[in-house]
Amino acid sequence: MAHDHHQFFQDQLQALETENQLRSIPDIDYGADKYLVLDGRSLLNLGSNNYLGLSRDPILLQAATEALQTYGTTSGASRLVTGTNRLAQELEEDLARFKDQEAAVVLGSGFSANLALLTTFADRHTVVYSDRLNHASIIDGITLSRAKHVRFRHRDMDHLAFLMDRHREAPRHICVTDSVFSMDGDCADLEALVGLCHDANALLAVDEAHAAGVFGQGRGLAHALGLEREVDLHMGTWSKAFASLGGYIAGSRTAVRLLQTRARSFIYSTALPPAVLGTNKAALESVSGTPEAGTALLAKAAELRASLEDLGFHTGNSRSQIIPIMLDTSHKAQAAQAFLKEKGVFVPAIRPPTVPRGQSRLRLSLRADLEHADWTLLQTAFKALADHLGPNVGVEAV
Ligand code: PMP
């Protein structure tokens, strides 16, 4: 490599390091399991999105193995060429039924599903209203679509109404939101969004990545609120509660047909491999067969939030299994992560640029497979952290 390129990379890394923003891949083993191994130590894993603890479920393992043995390791091509097999079609049919929608399409990841959704339904004549805390894949999808990107303040429906009014002359309108926000664990006000979208004639697309498998008997927040018919496009991922990989979009037959024809991240990308499709099918069956699992997890999360608040921590507006523990500075969040690690618990520190400056935090992802001993470990570790931090344990979320 030419020296000046090398120097450029070095300078970039140096600048990030100076700002304490250099990211490193942690040396973790078995990241989705209830216990992970970090620096040779076994730690209770409260950083995974494997919310229902399905990653070692014997039925999922068997489904993956059978699919692998039957169809081999790869799907070999894009779905539109020769990459479609029976499993992909069955998965989409099962999902559409589960989500009470006419049709569904499965993609390689949640990230590419959001790119697909926005580039298919938005163009440069469209205004896309997007919550400021929406996931990065939504932001990138909007940028790729060339639509006018209009951000509204997080969950601020008055602000959204104001912006919709300001852009009312635009030819097309789409509103997009996470249903459960990934860093705050709070929920979109879907009821208000449905009303505003109705009045502004805006398409409503909801990213249920963190709600699927948990809210609404596993179907998502839209279902939990009885709004599944009012939301036009239901996006989600197989990589979190479903303990696998891939993304999906469910909606009307025409919407899905258009996606299959237009979405470049669907058309020009190899279909998910059979083992993954088999896993997804089994995970969907498991979630639909145990609708109480998500509800129980949410109840546990409410209990945990209350006990953290009793210790003096601030958990923001979390209403889900994702619990932020607000710690202000990046340094404080990292020190808290290190402290908990010494107590046998892994909870990742989240800091800028992922969250705004002054809002660094621990992000605890509660999981359904905790047993009594795990709870004791968790409670003991946080009690010790609260004692260690003293009276100013937390800060209010701004
Ligand atoms: N949407 C949201 C809200 C997410 O949190 C994520 C993953 N972090 C994605 C989409 C992307 O999903 P995937 O990991 O399956 O690509």
* Bridge-based pairing state of the strands 172-178 and 203-207: parallel
CATH code where residue 42 lies: 3.90.1150.10
Convert the pLDDT of each residue in 77-132 to its tens digit. Answer: 999 999 899 999 999 999 999 999 999 999 999 999 999 999 999 999 999 999 99
Pair 204, 112 in one domain: yes
What pTM, to 2 d.p., does this model score?
Answer: 0.96
Convert the pLDDT of each residue in 336-386 to its tens digit. Answer: 999 999 999 999 999 888 898 899 999 999 999 999 999 999 999 999 999
- Ligand 1 atom closest to the Cα of residue 239 is 15
DSSP letter at 78 equals: B
112 lines ligand 1 (CB under 6 A): no
| Whether residue 398 has pLDDT greater than 70 | no
Give the percent of the chain with pLDDT over 70: 98
184 lines ligand 1 (CB under 6 A): no
178 lines ligand 1 (CB under 6 A): yes
* Bridge-based pairing state of the strands 41-45 and 345-346: parallel
Q: What is the pLDDT of residue 2?
A: 80
Would you call 137 a catalytic residue per the annotation?
A: no
Does any domain span residue 65? yes
Does any domain span residue 18? no
Does any domain span residue 104? yes
Pair 127, 240 in one domain: yes
Does any domain span residue 367? yes
- The boundaries of the domain holding residue 115 are 58-289
Pair 263, 311 in one domain: no
Pair 222, 108 in one domain: yes
Answer yes or no: are the C-beta atoms of 339 and 322 closer than 8 Å. Answer: no
Residue 13 CA to ligand 1 centre (angstroms): 26
| Whether residue 395 has pLDDT greater than 70 | no
Residue 373 has a CB neighbour count (10 Å cut-off) of 9
Give the percent of the chain with pLDDT over 90: 89
Residue 353: asked if its preceding bond is cis (omega within 30°), the reply is yes
Q: Closest residue (by CA) to atom 15 of ligand 1?
A: 110
Last residue of a domain, one of 258, 273, 289: 289
Pair 255, 326 in one domain: no
- Mutate which of 239, 244, 269, 280 for ligand 1 pocket (most atoms within 8 A of beta carbon): 239
Pair 37, 98 in one domain: no
Last residue of a domain, one of 289, 317, 333: 289
Catalytic residue among 173, 210, 234, 314: 210
Name the E strands within the chain.
Answer: 28-29, 35-38, 41-45, 103-107, 126-131, 148-152, 172-178, 203-207, 233-237, 247-251, 322-328, 345-346, 349-350, 360-365
Strand, coil or helix: what is 365? strand
Catalytic residue among 34, 99, 223, 240: 240
Which residue is listed with tokens 């279909």? Answer: 271
Residue 138 CA to ligand 1 centre (angstroms): 9
Would you call 210 a catalytic residue per the annotation?
A: yes
Pair 177, 237 in one domain: yes
Pair 239, 319 in one domain: no
Does any domain span residue 17? no
Does any domain span residue 105? yes
Pair 185, 163 in one domain: yes
CATH code where residue 223 lies: 3.40.640.10
Residue 116 CA to ligand 1 centre (angstroms): 13
Convert the pLDDT of each residue in 159-203 to its tens digit. Answer: 999 999 999 999 999 999 999 999 999 999 999 999 999 999 999
Last residue of a domain, one of 254, 289, 324: 289
Complex-level ipTM: 0.99
110 lines ligand 1 (CB under 6 A): yes
247 lines ligand 1 (CB under 6 A): yes
- Mutate which of 49, 109, 111, 115 for ligand 1 pocket (most atoms within 8 A of beta carbon): 111
Pair 281, 156 in one domain: yes
Convert the pLDDT of each residue in 314-350 to its tens digit. Answer: 999 999 999 999 998 989 999 999 999 999 999 999 9
Q: What is the total count of domains within the chain?
A: 2
Does any domain span residue 157? yes
Does any domain span residue 99? yes
Catalytic residue among 75, 182, 265, 269: 182
237 lines ligand 1 (CB under 6 A): yes
| Whether residue 6 has pLDDT greater than 50 | yes
Pair 140, 63 in one domain: yes
Residue 152 CA to ligand 1 centre (angstroms): 20
Residue 113 CA to ligand 1 centre (angstroms): 9
Pair 146, 245 in one domain: yes
